[in-house]
Amino acid sequence: MRATIWGSRGSIASAGPDTVRYGGNTSCVELADGDGTILLLDAGTGLRRAGMHLRDSSVPIHILLTHLHMDHIQGLGFFRPLFEPGRELHVWGPPSTTLDLRARLTRYLSPPLFPVRIRDLDSIVELHDAPSGPWQIGPFTVTAASVVHPGPTLGYRVSAGGATLAYLPDHEPALGGLAGGPAWTSGHDLAAGADLLLHDAQYSDAEYAERVGWGHSSAAHAVAFAEVASVRRLALFHHDPDHDDERLDGLLAEARGIGRGVDVIAGCEDTSFELSGGG
């Protein structure tokens, strides 16, 4: 399974010399595993660039949305395959008890916020609530579960070819613990034993202390969560837009200093990972 990060910010960061290594686009990760099926995790602004290289219009594209905060859907309107006649797209998202996925996405993909409505697109777009149990998309076995973050929000676990990736870009597991006991119950089963975990690491410890309950994690919390879940490798993700390359280098170094059993890396735009089980 090959994973490519097209965007890893929590909000758009201005492109400039201070953000060039980590990138400025918001959440989008592409997964491929050889049979042609394309799976995209979230539709942040990184989705635009993901769409630029998806030339084979016969390939079905699946977009798994964790939730509908703007930084996770903003790229949809700029995703080229959406405008390709006959292109098959499936968008999966968190169920809601109030509005279905189409109604929620239409709030963005309709005038006045966007000139085109979903129903007027040339592509064939099907919208699905993510099922409560594991399901199969081509070679990928996908599991979704609700995690601690404001509003209906999913994390995803994706396995293929013996490798597993866990994706929890917006997650505050420190709020998900049992009273008096250790935290980290939220998202645990999604991440357990994953070869690579992409996890919210938006804040420093000092910043988190000012933002408890906002739905995000400190880098130290991401490391602690990864250790409890026994993941092999942790990529710090959902970077704060105010953090430039130098600041993120510092957070990465701190995270590596406290991570004992987990390999900590940076979630940088334009990086790819080849995942294989046991390696």
Which residues in this chain contact Zn ion in the complex, by CB under 5 A? 69, 71, 170
Taking Cα atoms as reference points, which of 137, 259, 250, 135 lies closest to residue 197?
259
Minimum Å distance from CB 250 to Zn ion? 22
Minimum Å distance from CB 76 to Zn ion? 15
Burial class of residue 173 (count of CB atoms within 10 Å of its CB; 0-12, 13-18, 19+) = buried
Minimum Å distance from CB 45 to Zn ion? 11
Taking Cα atoms as reference points, which of 271, 192, 266 lies closest to residue 232?
192
> How many CB atoms sit inside 10 A of residue 209's CB?
10
Question: Does residue 122 carry a catalytic annotation?
Answer: no
The CA dihedral of 9, 15, 16, 18, to the nearest 10 degrees, is 0
Minimum Å distance from CB 5 to Zn ion? 14
By beta-carbon proximity to Zn ion, the closer residue of 71 and 84 is 71
Q: What is the Cα 76 distance to its own chain's centre?
A: 14
By beta-carbon proximity to Zn ion, the closer residue of 74 and 164 is 74
- Give the tokens for residue 167: 């994706």
By beta-carbon proximity to Zn ion, the closer residue of 69 and 232 is 69
Is there a contact between 221 and 174 (Cβ–Cβ < 8 Å)?
A: yes
By beta-carbon proximity to Zn ion, the closer residue of 232 and 238 is 238
In single-letter form, the type of residue at position 85 comes to P
Minimum Å distance from CB 118 to Zn ion? 22
3-state helix, strand, coil in the chain (%, to 5): 20, 30, 50
Minimum Å distance from CB 20 to Zn ion? 21
> Helix, strand or coil for residue 53?
coil
Residue nearest to Zn ion (CB): 69
By beta-carbon proximity to Zn ion, the closer residue of 45 and 164 is 45
Is there a contact between 224 and 255 (Cβ–Cβ < 8 Å)?
A: no
> Helix, strand or coil for residue 109?
coil
Is there a contact between 9 and 72 (Cβ–Cβ < 8 Å)?
A: no
By beta-carbon proximity to Zn ion, the closer residue of 163 and 190 is 190
User: d(Cα 85, Cα 108) in Å, to the nearest integer?
Assistant: 21
User: For the chain, what's the residue count?
Assistant: 279
Catalytic residue among 71, 195, 244, 245: 71
Q: Which residues are catalytic?
A: 71
